[in-house]
C-alpha cells in the first residue's frame, strides 16, 4: 500500500511514521509513506494556500487550487485513482469497519486541513471520503490522520507479529475484546481466572466468548444490536438481560 499525506506541517508525522509498528511496516514493504507540504502547489510566490471566505465571516478557508494540484500530481503514476480522504469533523465517524475497508486499497491520500475550513469544491469534486475521529474539533487534521493511518496499516499483511491479533481486536468481531492476563498468576492477592491456567483450550475459548459479551454488555450495549453472536453468546446475553431485569 502507498499512503500519501498532504499537510502544512509535515514535520508532525516524523515520529509517528518512523517508529514502532509503522517503521516495521515500511521495513517489511507492506506500506510506503510520503508526507508533502501542499504549499509547494500554491502557484504563487508567497506560497499562500488560504484566503478570506466569500460572504464574510471569521477565519480563513483553504483554497481549492493547491489541493487539486497536489492530488493530481500524486495520481500521475497510479494505475487507478487513489482514495482521497478529507479529515473533517463533519465527516463520517471513523471506526474499525472503515479501517478494514481502507486496508484493501492500494493508494490512500489523506488531506489535513487547518484554518476555518475548506473551499466546498474540494468536498464536492476532489475527495472520495470525509472522515472524523469523533464529535470534537482539533486544530488541524494531522492528529486524526495519524490515528487513522495507524489503524489501517496494522491490518496489512506482514505488519503485526501475530496474524490473529487484528482479527480478535475489539470491534473486529463486533464485540469488545475479552479480558487478558499474563504472569504472575497471582499478584497482591489478585488471581488469574482458573480456566486460563487449565490448559483446556475448549473451556478457554468458551470463557473468552462469554467475557466478550459480558464486557460489551457492561460498556457498549449499542454494539450488541448488530454483533454476529454465536448460539452460546446469545445465551449469555439472554442471561445478562434477565439478571438486569430481575
List the catalytic residues.
89, 116, 154, 169
d(CA 150, CA 22): 7
Cell of 19: 517508529
Strand 61-62: give its sheet, edge to edge.
Answer: 50-51, 61-62, 117-118
Three-state DSSP class for residue 110? strand
Pick from 80, 71, 57: which is nearest to 122 by CA? 71
* 56: Cβ contacts below 8 Å, ≥ 6 apart: none
113 is known to lie in a ligand binding site: yes
Q: How many CB atoms lie within 10 A of CB 90?
A: 11
Does residue 181 have a cis bond before it (omega within 30 degrees)? no
138 is known to lie in a ligand binding site: yes
199 is known to lie in a ligand binding site: no
135 is known to lie in a ligand binding site: yes
134 is known to lie in a ligand binding site: yes
9 is known to lie in a ligand binding site: no
136 is known to lie in a ligand binding site: yes
Question: Taking a C-beta distance cutoff of 8 angstroms, is the pair 106, 2 a contact?
Answer: yes
With DSSP H G I counted as helix, E B as strand and the rest as coil, what are the percentages for the chain, rounded to 5?
40, 15, 40
Residue stretches of the annotated binding site: 113, 133-138
- Annotated binding-site members for S-adenosyl-L-methionine: 113, 133-138
Amino acid at each position: 500500500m502507498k499512503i500519501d499525506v498532504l499537510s502544512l506541517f509535515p514535520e508532525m508525522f516524523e515520529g509517528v511514521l518512523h517508529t514502532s509498528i509503522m517503521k516495521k511496516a515500511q521495513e517489511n514493504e507492506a506500506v510506503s509513506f510520503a508526507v508533502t507540504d501542499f504549499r509547494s502547489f500554491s502557484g504563487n510566490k508567497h506560497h499562500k494556500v488560504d484566503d478570506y471566505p466569500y460572504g464574510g465571516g471569521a477565519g480563513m478557508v483553504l483554497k481549492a487550487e493547491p489541493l487539486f494540484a497536489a492530488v493530481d500530481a500524486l495520481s500521475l503514476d497510479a494505475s487507478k485513482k487513489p482514495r482521497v480522504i478529507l479529515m473533517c469533523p463533519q465527516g463520517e465517524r471513523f471506526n474499525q469497519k472503515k479501517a478494514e475497508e481502507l486496508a484493501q486499497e492500494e493508494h490512500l491520500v489523506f488531506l489535513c486541513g487547518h484554518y476555518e475550513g475548506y473551499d466546498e469544491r474540494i468536498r464536492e469534486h476532489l475527495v472520495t471520503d470525509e472522515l472524523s475521529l469523533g464529535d470534537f474539533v482539533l486544530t488541524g487534521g494531522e492528529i486524526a490522520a495519524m490515528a487513522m493511518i495507524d489503524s489501517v496499516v496494522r491490518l496489512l499483511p506482514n505488519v503485526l507479529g501475530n496474524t490473529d491479533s487484528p482479527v480478535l481486536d475489539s470491534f473486529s468481531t463486533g464485540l469488545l475484546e475479552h479480558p487478558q492476563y499474563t504472569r504472575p498468576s497471582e499478584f497482591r492477592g489478585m488471581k488469574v481466572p482458573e480456566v486460563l491456567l487449565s490448559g483446556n483450550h475448549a473451556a478457554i475459548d468458551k470463557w473468552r466468548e462469554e467475557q466478550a459479551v459480558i464486557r460489551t454488555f457492561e460498556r457498549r450495549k449499542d454494539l450488541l444490536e448488530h454483533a454476529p453472536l454465536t448460539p452460546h453468546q446469545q445465551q449469555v446475553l439472554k442471561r445478562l438481560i434477565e439478571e438486569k431485569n430481575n
